[in-house]
């Protein structure tokens, strides 16, 4: 692998994507997902996170329970999986899936023609504009299970909130997925996952917009990444969702250890995605340095020790694809989750964008 490849230095190029959703039309939504996935693959992206219920749309209410829709979701999911066989990124897409007697709002993790696992939404809001328990079941108690996808001739894949996805050829990449409301509760599933070893936390969100909610999402994403010493990748639903009762802004963002790396503009027309290179070595180093992180893991070992890990090979590009993150020009001006530190990162020598895009600009951004 070329020395100049960011993957050699254990960065992960990550994207948080929002789409133009076609309501209750899984085939159209799969086509849009693949278009974004191919664009990201060409850019060397190794992980793409899409919004909640990507394949069906979030705001279709009781249509979500129709067998015709659910059968089509599974059929198109199989088509999507097959189409990713030659694509680089791990895709995390949302889909309504049947399990036993109920319907679950799920995050499906896909890579190179294979479903690695499925994580159900743990906590379902039933307040204000939300009434999700009318259609779907809470998945907070689903652990150690499998789900069959693709009908009688399909395959059984890991199913539960206890799943970690670890890249065997990119040390430090351990992914966990949760869905929207899961990070609005006092102890999100991602907190336990981080203690169990997850370094990249994905959130597939529907989340209609209200006054002040965009700032609250930033607060929650920043807080999760800072407390968990992790990257937090957030993607919300946008254009195409029903505006009969609520509005949608398609907000996306990527945080790392409490620092905003990238975000896309809100209320976009068409698909948009934010891209940044996540420093997996930095996350590991911060966890080693902060001994209380592992102390907390020991406190919760009864739950964190039983997480299941699904391995996969990312096969990232070995050539120079540039560096997609702000690099501070001066060693005395290194940004950390605690503020500004005089301790330099090991990568301050990397291709600097210059002072105008370094400390002066970063200091003025959301803090």
Q: Report the catalytic residues.
A: 52, 121, 180
Residue spans of alpha helices (H) in the chain: 26-42, 67-83, 189-196, 213-227, 280-289, 291-299, 301-304, 359-363
Would the CA dihedral through 246, 26, 19, 203 be positive or negative? positive
* Upper half-sphere CA count for residue 297 (Cβ side, 13 Å): 19
155: three-class secondary structure by DSSP: strand
User: Rounded to whole angstroms, what are the CA distances from 103 to 136, 138, 237, 344?
Assistant: 5, 9, 20, 49
DSSP state of 154: S
Cα separation of 93 and 360, whole Å? Answer: 37
Tokens of 234: 């957030």
Cα separation of 366 and 338, whole Å? Answer: 14
The DSSP result for 38-92, as a single string, is HHHHHTT-SEEE--TTTTT-S--GGGGG-HHHHHHHHHHHHHHHHHTTT--SEEE
Cα separation of 66 and 59, whole Å? Answer: 14
CB 307 within 8 A of CB 196: yes
CB 86 within 8 A of CB 95: no
Would the CA dihedral through 91, 52, 258, 159 be positive or negative? negative
137: three-class secondary structure by DSSP: coil
């Amino acid at each position: 692998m070329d020395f100049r490849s960011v993957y050699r230095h254990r960065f992960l190029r990550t994207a948080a994507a929002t789409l133009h959703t076609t309501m209750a039309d899984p085939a159209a939504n799969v086509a849009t997902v693949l278009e974004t996935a191919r664009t990201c693959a060409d850019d060397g992206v190794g992980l793409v996170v899409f919004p909640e219920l990507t394949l069906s749309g979030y705001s279709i209410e009781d249509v979500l329970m129709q067998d015709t829709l659910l059968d089509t979701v599974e059929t198109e999911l199989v088509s999507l999986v097959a189409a990713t066989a030659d694509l680089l990124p791990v895709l995390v897409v949302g889909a309504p899936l049947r399990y036993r007697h109920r319907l679950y709002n799920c995050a499906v993790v896909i890579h190179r023609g294979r479903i690695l696992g499925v994580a159900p939404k743990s906590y379902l809001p039933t307040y204000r504009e939300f009434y999700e328990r009318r259609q779907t079941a809470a998945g907070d108690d689903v652990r150690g299970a499998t789900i069959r996808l693709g009908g009688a001739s399909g395959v059984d894949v890991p199913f539960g909130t206890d799943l970690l996805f670890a890249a065997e050829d990119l040390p430090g990449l351990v992914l966990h997925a949760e869905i929207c409301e899961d990070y609005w509760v006092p102890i999100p599933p991602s907190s336990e996952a981080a203690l169990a070893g997850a370094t990249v936390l994905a959130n597939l969100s529907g989340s209609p917009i209200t006054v002040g909610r965009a700032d609250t999402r930033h607060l929650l994403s920043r807080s999760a990444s800072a407390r968990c010493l992790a990257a937090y990748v957030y993607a919300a639903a946008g254009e195409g969702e029903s505006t009969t009762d609520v509005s949608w802004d398609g907000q996306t963002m990527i945080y790392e250890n409490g620092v905003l790396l990238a975000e896309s503009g809100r209320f976009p027309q068409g698909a948009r995605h934010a891209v940044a290179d996540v420093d997996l070595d930095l996350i590991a180093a911060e966890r080693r340095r902060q001994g209380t992180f592992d102390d907390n893991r020991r406190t919760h070992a009864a739950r964190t020790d039983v997480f299941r890990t699904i391995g996969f090979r990312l096969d990232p590009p070995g050539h120079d694809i540039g560096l997609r993150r702000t690099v501070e020009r001066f060693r005395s001006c290194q940004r950390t989750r605690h503020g500004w530190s005089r301790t330099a990162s090991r990568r301050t020598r990397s291709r600097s964008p210059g002072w105008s895009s370094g400390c002066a600009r970063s200091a003025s951004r959301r803090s």
